Amino acid sequence: MWPDAIEWGTWIATALLVYSAFGFAAHLALGLLASDEVGGQRRRQLLTDPLHLFESDQAPAISILLPARNDARTIVDAVRSLLQLDYPAFEVVVVNDDSSDGTLDQLITEFELRGSKRTPIGSVPRGSVRGVYGSPLSPGLTVIDLARPGGRARAAGLALAYARHPLVLVSDAGTVLERETLVRLALPFYEDDSVASVIGVVRPSNGSVIEHGNVTFCGRPASRLARFQSVEYLRGMISQRLAWGNQDSLFIVPGTLGLFSREALRAVDGFRGGNVGDDVDLCMRLQRRAAKDGRRSVVRCVSGAVAWTRVPESLRVLARQRARGYQALAEALWFNRELLLNGRLAIRQGIAYLFHLILDLFGPVFEVAGQVALVVLMFRGDLDLPLFIIYFSVFIVGGTIPSLMAIALERSACPRFQRGSDLEGLALYALLENLGYRQMTALWRLAGLWRALWGMRGVGGKVRSERAAPSAKAEAKAAA
């Protein structure tokens, strides 16, 4: 006998209620773990003296890779800002990814660049590089001009061949690093040889004033859309990443603020460029490798290392960004499913994988489909009103409290807001985002998931062929 409609409504509402309560509990646990991590980082900070340490010549040198495509408006300021960072040994390698807006010309003019005979360390595919430029006036700057566009990961991979230093940071022209960010990112490498990657916290620069890499004023964005994103950034960057870092299972790294060990990159075949989300994929590959080698704490999140980026203030751009982000997550989870299925790997990473799979990836499916179904059932009279109210109460409370915890953590993890009213204002948006914004982003995320499903089928051959291609190490060996 089939259950009648009202029973279906109850079943669906109960299932959604359980799912929301599970999500709430999981995010609450992440908030507590993030607090523990911030406490631990503050304790460690009391024992270190980064500035004194980095006055010596023991600071590991860093190559900053800056892929740029049609960034003529911002590239010069971005490079100047990077060259002014406080760090004893670093270089900047800009890769012009076949821009058509004069990005290269701007660099040549501003930094008086000339053709350089700099040789690559690894092998570079024939015809992929049109020219290499350097400047006697800025010895720490190298510009690589690519012959054809290939995307950010490919550009970073080619830049890596021309980079000289043992640590590598990939950034972009729209991101501004605080002056002490490199010191803070490099400190874990100084203290522990097993570290493969260290990420920092990226925050929206909308509403803030940044001069020469220094945040002279940090305030709440004027745009409402940017305020919602500020809450999301605090929740994602501070609360979740610190918590996963604490559990040694950090998978999702910001594409513009990750410092990698060159050796670790080489061990996992570096930047592949075959998929949309190379950063997440790369981080998962590092975790897989570490799990196989039995190493711990290889990917860390440092709350004091901060970079600023402008977040979209138009729905169209935000929708595209979110869809792309979720496509990246879906692809990375698919490529690295070994993290879940292979019993040899660490249990914590399996749990993290499940979290990202169930709550992050399929969350939009449950949210959109479930809420539409509940509203329809409610209007048809097939659902009890109290159950409907309980579900939405849990949904809203469960969405708001983790965000409020993240906003509270901001004061301890990386305090930048100068006015208490800015944080209070964001707290209001933590509540409001559950009433429309969250549903809207769920739709965009669904679009990303859809594209990933089609993309996997569509470009599967390409991805496979890239994986089958010889690694950079093998190519270098063959060339030698």
Partner 1 sequence: MANPAAEKWLGQLQGALAERMDRWAAAINVIAGPGLERGSVARTEAEQVSAAFERFLAGGIQSDELIEIVAGARPDAFWAAVEAFSAGASAEEWRRLASPLLAVPAVVRESRRLRHLSRWRRALAARRVGLLESPELREPLRKALARGPELVTLQAALALSRLGDLPGLAWLLQHPEATARRTRRQLVTLLERFGPGAAGELRTAVAGGKAPAPVLVAAIEVLGLHRDAASAGVLENVLRQGPLEARIVAARALGRIGAAESGPALIAALDDEAWQVRAQAARALGTVRAPANVGPLAGRVGDVAWWVRRHAAYALGRHGPAGRRALAEIAEAGQDLFAAAIAREVLQQIEWEAEIQGGFASVA
Instruction: Give the nearer residue to partner 1 in terms of CB position, either 35 or 206.
Output: 35
Residue 126 binds partner 1, judged by CB under 8 A: no
**Taking CB under 8 A as the criterion, which residues in 134-193 touch partner 1?**
134, 136-137, 139, 190-193
**Is residue 297 at the binding interface for partner 1, with CB under 8 A as the rule?**
no
Shortest distance, position 441 Cβ to partner 1, whole Å: 28
Q: Contact region for partner 1 (CB under 8 A) — 50-58, 249-257, 263-271, 319-327?
A: 50-58
Give me the least distance between CB of 270 and partner 1, in Å please: 16
Question: Containing H/E element for 266?
Answer: helix 262-267
442: amino acid identity, one letter: A
Adjacent-strand bridge partners of 259 = 169, 198
Residue 452 φ/ψ, nearest 5 degrees: -65, -40
Contacts of 149 (CB under 8 A, 6+ apart): 69, 97, 98
Q: Which of 5, 18, 121, 428 binds partner 1 (CB under 8 A)?
A: 121
Applying CB under 8 A, among 23, 24, 27, 35 the residue interacting with partner 1 is 35
Q: Is 40 in the site for partner 1 (CB under 8 A)?
A: yes
Query: Order of strands, edge to edge, in the sheet holding 141-146?
Result: 114-115, 129-134, 141-146, 90-96, 62-68, 167-170, 258-261, 197-204, 299-309, 175-177
Least spacing, CB of residue 36 vs partner 1, in Å: 4
Asked if 409 contacts 240 with a C-beta cutoff of 8 angstroms, the reply is: no
Q: What CA–CA distance (Å, rounded) separates 135 from 340?
A: 48
Residue 300 CA to residue 145 CA, distance in Å, equals 32
Q: Which of 5, 7, 22, 42 binds partner 1 (CB under 8 A)?
A: 42
Q: Does 436 bind partner 1 (CB under 8 A)?
A: no
Please give the Cα distance from 331 to 172 (Å, whole number): 22
Regarding beta strands 129-134 and 141-146, do their DSSP bridges make them parallel or antiparallel, or are they unpaired? antiparallel
| Residue from the set 28, 53, 357, 456 that interacts with partner 1 by CB under 8 A | 53
Q: Compare residues 117 and 344 and give the one whose CB is closer to partner 1.
A: 117
Q: Which of 38, 243, 291, 472 binds partner 1 (CB under 8 A)?
A: 38
Q: What Å distances lie between residue 103 and 73, 117, 179, 233, 474, CA to CA?
A: 8, 21, 24, 29, 33
Pairing of strands 299-309, 175-177: antiparallel
The answer to whether residue 408 forms part of the interface with partner 1 (CB under 8 A) is yes
CB of 272 vs partner 1, minimal distance in Å = 22
**What are the residues binding partner 1 (CB under 8 A)?**
32, 35-36, 38-40, 42-43, 46-47, 49, 51-53, 56-58, 60, 116-119, 121, 134, 136-137, 139, 190-193, 408-409, 411-413, 415, 420, 480
